[in-house]
């Protein structure tokens, strides 16, 4: 097997702890979004860990993602959030999983192909992205709906749209018969009991993202990137490092070049802002982030040699703020050149 000089250290205990905390906050059945290959961690491993902790409902985006998951643990269920597209019937035919139907054309397609087989439905309560329109709810009569879903557009903020969407979803619930009703994502769970209904669907908070301030001290970091040292040298006073010569040393300093860059999802906007970390010591990154490399000041790192592993300080809220991107991008952008190591 070819060696990879990059790895994501994934903390299984922290993942499970985050799910349990969110479940306690919601007070109802708590599932898990595992789309985008478990937000980049590895969907199979995420499902196994959370199913063992008690999660029963999982969500992916597409039938292709469902197929990649393979057999699920006993007692668990899977829903496909993008529903049943024009080319999805063959995949759905032999699958035990449920589509989340998002348009009336998807509803008609499901009726024609699968009759009274159970499905889920998404209602558009104002996000105008996916979901059956509120004025088309009569067209759902007769469907065997397992779960009726809505999706909150602004739950990470104290925004008037939260209350508006809640009222619209309540109206849809009163009109559409289903076994269960589900509105809240990670941030929605923290809006309070009114948003919980029967099932919640956390995503980013499971993986170390902080969706609202109420979770700041409660969500544990799950993912830590580590990169091998490619080169150790001394940057002399007056010399610069990296493209654009954006950092010039004012004294002699030991530096290390690490096997990580923006091609791996460690974005260029982190130039001059991010840190590596050894033990409890932060090590500043020097100069620009390159496609495959970064340079680190190792003055306070102790003995560092070629081939050593050095972690990047990668708390999602802080990294996202420093890079000017969302926490979702900061996590899911960590690419395939990383080996995923569960501990």
Per-residue model confidence as pLDDT tens digits over 292-340 = 999 999 999 999 999 999 999 999 999 999 999 999 999 999 999 999 9
User: In this predicted model, what pLDDT tens digit does every residue of 266-297 receive, in sequence order?
Assistant: 999 999 999 999 999 999 999 999 999 999 99
Distance set, CA 92 to CA 123, 125, 322 (Å):
21, 27, 42
Known catalytic residue at 56: no
The answer to the question of residue 25 being in a domain is no
Residues 275 and 227 in one domain: yes
Residues 297 and 203 in one domain: no
Continuous segment of H or E residues that includes residue 168: helix 160-175
Choosing from 4, 179, 236, 243, the catalytic residue is 243
User: In this predicted model, what pLDDT tens digit does every residue of 179-193 receive, in sequence order?
Assistant: 999 999 999 999 999
pLDDT category of residue 116 using cuts at 50, 70 and 90: confident
Known catalytic residue at 35: yes
Residues 269 and 135 in one domain: no
User: In this predicted model, what pLDDT tens digit does every residue of 182-230 receive, in sequence order?
Assistant: 999 999 999 999 999 999 999 999 999 999 999 999 999 999 999 999 9
Choosing from 4, 13, 35, 181, the catalytic residue is 35
Return phi, psi of residue 151, to 5°: -140, 130
**Total tally of structural domains belonging to the chain:** 2
Mean pLDDT of 110-118: 94
Contact 4, 338 (CB under 8 A): yes
Residues 248 and 166 in one domain: no
Average pLDDT taken over every residue of the chain: 97
Contact 162, 184 (CB under 8 A): no
Cα 275 from Cα 266, distance rounded (Å): 11
pTM, rounded to two decimals: 0.97
The answer to the question of residue 2 being in a domain is no
């Amino acid at each position: 097997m070819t060696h990879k000089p990059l790895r994501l250290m994934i903390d299984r205990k922290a993942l499970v702890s985050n799910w349990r905390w969110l479940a306690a906050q919601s007070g109802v059945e708590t599932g898990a979004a595992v789309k985008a290959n478990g937000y980049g961690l590895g969907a199979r491993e995420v499902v196994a860990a959370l199913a063992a902790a008690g999660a029963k409902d999982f969500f992916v985006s597409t039938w292709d993602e469902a197929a990649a998951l393979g057999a699920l643990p006993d007692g668990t269920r899977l829903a496909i959030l993008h529903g049943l597209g024009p080319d999805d019937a063959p995949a759905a035919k032999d699958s035990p999983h449920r589509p989340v139907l998002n348009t009336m054309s998807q509803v008609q397609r499901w009726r024609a192909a699968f009759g009274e087989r159970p499905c889920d439905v998404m209602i558009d309560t104002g996000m105008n992205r996916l979901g059956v329109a509120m004025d088309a709810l009569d067209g759902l009569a007769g469907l065997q709906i397992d779960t009726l879903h809505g999706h909150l557009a602004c739950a990470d903020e104290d925004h008037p749209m939260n209350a508006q969407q809640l009222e619209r979803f309540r109206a849809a619930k009163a009109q559409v018969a289903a076994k269960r009703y589900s509105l809240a994502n990670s941030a929605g769970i923290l809006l309070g009991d009114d948003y919980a209904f029967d099932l919640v669907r956390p995503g980013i908070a499971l993986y170390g993202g902080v969706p609202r301030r109420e979770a700041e001290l409660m969500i544990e970091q799950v993912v830590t990137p580590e990169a091998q040292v490619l080169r150790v040298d001394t940057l002399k006073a007056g010399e610069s490092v990296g493209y654009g010569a954006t950092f010039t040393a004012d004294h002699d300093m030991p530096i290390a070049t690490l096997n990580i860059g923006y091609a791996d999802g460690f974005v260029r906007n982190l130039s001059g802002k991010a840190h590596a970390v050894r033990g409890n010591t932060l090590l500043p990154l020097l100069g620009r982030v390159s496609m495959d490399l970064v340079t680190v000041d190792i003055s306070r790192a102790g003995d560092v040699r070629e081939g050593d592993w050095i972690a990047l300080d990668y708390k999602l809220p802080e990294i996202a703020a420093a890079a000017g991107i969302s926490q979702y991008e900061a996590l899911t952008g960590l690419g395939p050149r990383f080996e995923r190591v569960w501990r």
